[in-house]
Structure 1
Amino acid sequence: MTAPFESAASLAPIPHGFFGRRGGVSAGALASLNCGLGSGDDPALIAENRRRVADGVLPGAALTGLYQVHSHHCVIVDGDTDLAARPEADAFATRTPGILLGILTADCVPVLFADREAGVVGAAHAGWKGAIAGVTDATLDAMESLGARRARIAVAIGPCIGRASYEVDEGFVERFVTDDPANEHFFAAGRPGHAMFDIAAYVAARLAAAGVTRIAIGGQDTYAESQDYFSYRRACHKGENSYGRQLSVIGLA
């Protein structure tokens, strides 16, 4: 059995998918397709959920992941890589068929990359810290080191927290505006002392500034769409003890 997922036409025919919380075996607040290794869920249920993801996109592929730390670091994965090692990084790239790169999110931005002609793919976890530090730039650099060309790379931004749900304080806004005054455009007015942040648009603009010309944005809001996606912020607001993570994957057949 496999689970439902969203795909991006811009990445086709590269095997990839943005999965939500439907189609799995976990229960309770973590129902049902929880793929988060650090969520406190039953490891056997997580393993089955991750198997359903892999089988739905690239049957027989080795699903690998990272120990995500909200950094800008990107690693290269190949046939000699220990796929169970989970290095501390927030992006990876490969040109090796049969490896499925998996990014876990629960409000942060999953970003999938592909240069179909070169046969190089990448995936990044862009929380706000990694996004402003340049995790997508690092992914592009790593892909180019494997033979990709930036002008050919297509990128899809998957389900993440939407602007209407992402309230931040003035200090947060100032951090981004200090980095680049143009970043003010990604914030809308909120209640006094606060603003609403469009992180998907920020990541897309960062990619465009880096030379990417094909960028797709899914437009989902993980916080608001509780039946379809896990959300760290929603779980915190509801006082839940844990939260699930959805998985976004890409690989080469």
Structure 2
Amino acid sequence: MPDVEVISAKCLNGVAHGFLGRGGGVSEGTASGLDVGFGGPDDGEAAARNRQIAIDAVLPGADLAMVEQIHSAKAVIVDGPVSSAQRQQADALVTDRAGLLLGIVTADCAPVLFADTEAGVIGAAHAGWRGAHGGVVEAAVEAMERIGGDRKRIRAAIGPCIVQPSYEVDGDFRTQFEPGDSQFFAAGRAGRWQFDLSGYVHGRLQSAGIGEIEAVGLDTYAEPDRFFSFRRATHRGEANYGRQFSLIGMPSTG
């Protein structure tokens, strides 16, 4: 079994975090590797084992909190582990509790990890185009500030996602972003455009006043041996596309 790949961001040095790809794990078939999604064809046992493998790779012994992601602009504050049955519907979560890992699942959408280390406040957001356009990163920042964070101190990292050369959209899609966001679209085939999701999320973070922003610049679509991708699986007609984890936590001092 290959080693688990934990991709880190320089701007989050000193914080336990990682954007994980598909390397390692126990899932088999078209979503082989470290698939942490429960929507595949197995009974969930492999995904549960993979989640524990991921936790151990980022912050061993930590509890895990997640949300039921719905492509919204909602952020919630959590103060302890959250089981699958207890998850709230949201697309960002924040905490000031040490020893608690926040987890986001993606398969082309942009995962965003946040930290204000001075305040001991962290956050994680699932920023697909719909959530990003609706304001999910701003909602995460506002939730962090409600528990002591300061946007000028917050550092944010945008993880692997589908990048502009791989993300073809139609004119109706582009119209939803007009008139102010044309810089995130490049002309493609006739009647088609290439959308820069990572750049768009970066722009939203910048406009929100975040102190430091980093994008890892990795394309989930273009590297099938490294990442899961919903769009790639759809183009190939595969039954399961797999999901990868992004995790962040403040180590417990106790």
Q: Structure 1 stretches of 5 or more lacking a match?
A: none
Residue 237 of structure 1 is matched in structure 2 by: 235
Once the two structures are superposed, what CA deviation does each residue of 1:154-181 show, in whole Å capped at 9, x if it has no partner? 000000001001000000001011xxx2
Which stretch shifts more, 4-13 or 202-211? 4-13
Residue 225 of structure 1 is matched in structure 2 by: 223
Alignment of 1:1-253 (within 5 A): 3-79=4-80, 82-84=82-84, 85-177=86-178, 181-253=179-251
Displacement of 1:236 after TM fit? 0.5
Displacement of 1:40 after TM fit? 2.8
- Structure 2 residue identity aligned to 1:201: G
Displacement of 1:20 after TM fit? 0.3
Aligned residues of 1:90 and 1:125 also touching (Cα < 8 A): yes
Once the two structures are superposed, what CA deviation does each residue of 1:175-195 show, in whole Å capped at 9, x if it has no partner? 011xxx231000000101110
Taking the aligned partners of 1:19 and 1:238, their CA distance within structure 2 comes to 23
Once the two structures are superposed, what CA deviation does each residue of 1:123-175 show, in whole Å capped at 9, x if it has no partner? 00001110000000000000000101110000000000010010000000010
Displacement of 1:83 after TM fit? 4.0
1:56 is paired with a residue whose SS is: helix
- Structure 2 residue identity aligned to 1:117: E
Taking the aligned partners of 2:48 and 2:24, their CA distance within structure 1 comes to 13
Taking the aligned partners of 1:119 and 1:52, their CA distance within structure 2 comes to 25
Taking the aligned partners of 2:82 and 2:229, their CA distance within structure 1 comes to 30
1:150 is paired with a residue whose SS is: coil
Aligned residues of 1:63 and 1:101 also touching (Cα < 8 A): yes
CA RMSD of aligned residues (A): 1.2
Aligned residues of 2:41 and 2:240 also touching (Cα < 8 A): yes
Identity %: 53
2:227 is paired with a residue whose SS is: coil
In structure 2, do the counterparts of structure 1 residues 167 and 231 end up closer, same or farther at CA, with 3 Å as the change threshold?
Answer: same
1:104 is paired with a residue whose SS is: strand
Taking the aligned partners of 1:136 and 1:41, their CA distance within structure 2 comes to 32
Aligned residues of 2:64 and 2:82 also touching (Cα < 8 A): no
- Structure 2 residue identity aligned to 1:59: P
- Structure 2 residue identity aligned to 1:176: F
- Structure 1 residue identity aligned to 2:186: A
Q: Which aligned runs of 4 or more in structure 1 are off by greater than 6 angstroms?
A: none
Taking the aligned partners of 1:235 and 1:96, their CA distance within structure 2 comes to 37
Normalization by structure 1: what TM-score?
Answer: 0.96
Which stretch shifts more, 56-65 or 12-21? 56-65
Count, aligned residues: 249
Q: Structure 2 stretches of 5 or more lacking a match?
A: none
Which stretch shifts more, 36-45 or 200-209? 36-45
- Structure 2 residue identity aligned to 1:250: I
Displacement of 1:87 after TM fit? 1.0
Aligned residues of 2:65 and 2:78 also touching (Cα < 8 A): no
Taking the aligned partners of 1:129 and 1:159, their CA distance within structure 2 comes to 17
Displacement of 1:213 after TM fit? 2.7
Taking the aligned partners of 1:124 and 1:92, their CA distance within structure 2 comes to 7
Taking the aligned partners of 1:195 and 1:40, their CA distance within structure 2 comes to 34
Aligned residues of 1:30 and 1:41 also touching (Cα < 8 A): no
Which stretch shifts more, 87-96 or 1-10? 1-10
